[in-house]
Structure 1
Amino acid sequence: MFTTGGLLVLLLALGIHSHLKVKQLNKQLKFEAFKNQELQKKVKLALKTITKMERNPDLIHSREFNLDYLRMRMEEDIFHAAIVNQLKVKVKQKITVALRPRQAEAGLIGIASKPRVVDEIFDVEYSPQDNPIAKKRVLFRIQIKLAKLPTQATSITISQLIDCIEKFMSHEAETSNWQPAIQGHIAYMHWDQKAKPTPLLVIEQSTEGGNVTLRSRNVLPSSSTSKPPQRQATSPHQGR
């Protein structure tokens, strides 16, 4: 009799516990469903706002303004050093592994490696130095597309990439595209106009065509045309 009573009490306790647990789970499920609905409303509102901003005629040239402002900031020593140091680290991290020879991975020595396609993308971030609580923000992204041509060391290729990016981002570079020589091969640098909302700088190298036999200094084209030298005016009293 005592055993039956104990089992009855145990069953009642389990029933009450299960009822409370189910009630708690139902309450949590309703709360998560409410959060999901609110999140969907926020996403729809954000998409509507972004679409409205993209169609706003006052913001059509905002990308060009931001890029011009970015090039002006590159004239500042602190900003320039922060961006260049970040480029050195990230380009080396992304490209070194991608440009590693295939025979080293397969354990084959003495066999020439074929051109290896590289497609890497990374963010360039910056946080204001005068505001210690400021978070890092993405300024722009860089996408590097090139082929590993067995003509030079990987360190030289990385140095060329960093040098080209630094020159392209300088204030003197008023052009929106450029064709420098990387690995003895012509590359094409330009801002991807379809990338939204973060600007995307693309460095694309084609495997077609011949190599550049002459060493290129990768000098940006000057926007100002050179004027012919003017002949010095002589005084009418001279030469007499």
Structure 2
Amino acid sequence: STRNCNQLVKHPPEAAGSWPIVGHLVQLVGSGKPLFRVLGDMADKFGPIFMVRFGVYPTLVVSTWEMAKECFTSNDKFLASRPPSAASSYMTYDHAMFGFSFYGPYWREIRKISTLHLLSHRRLELLKHVPHTEIHNFIKGLFGIWKDHQKQQQPTGREDRDSVMLEMSQLFGYLTLNVVLSLVVGKRVCNYHADGHLDDGEEAGQGQKLHQTITDF
């Protein structure tokens, strides 16, 4: 019977302290520790595989490479789909976007198209000049920032004029956005200058807004 089958199924241990509605979110985000450290402490207590609740949703956590291998090789088809959510449904046109679609005939067809026409070796060879050019422009821009900084500091005679402090995470974000936009629409919109600002203009403003939206998401 169904009842006997449910009794025979062995479920991973569930971390203690789950609250109604919010689940383990209080322990995960309210402790002040980084999430990976909180999950690491739970793994030390409950073992390499256990369950937590993100709100009302049970979530499986694995913490060893052996368990990860089982998930992504032997049982990859069972774990390939993503859990449904209202956000992904509304924002991705009812899961039409490749990265958010469920595993099934549609996903396999999109994956086939992507592999053959977008990510094939020939296609990547044809487009390899795009990331190469963007990286070259990125390094050239960094050198220009350092050179302008040297000119500004040279009259003062300061000993620290050879060093420039930059927000590299933001710069790498602009580099990634330039590569993606160059591949998709054939233009770049983000140019970083010595004064720490992007180019003025409508397209530059839209690119900065897009980058900020992706970062916040």
Bigger share in helix: 2
Task: Return the TM-score normalized by structure 1.
Answer: 0.24
The structure with the largest alpha-carbon Rg is: 1
Q: Which has the higher contact order (CA 8 A, sep 6+)?
A: 1
Bigger share in strand: 1
Task: Return the TM-score normalized by structure 2.
Answer: 0.26
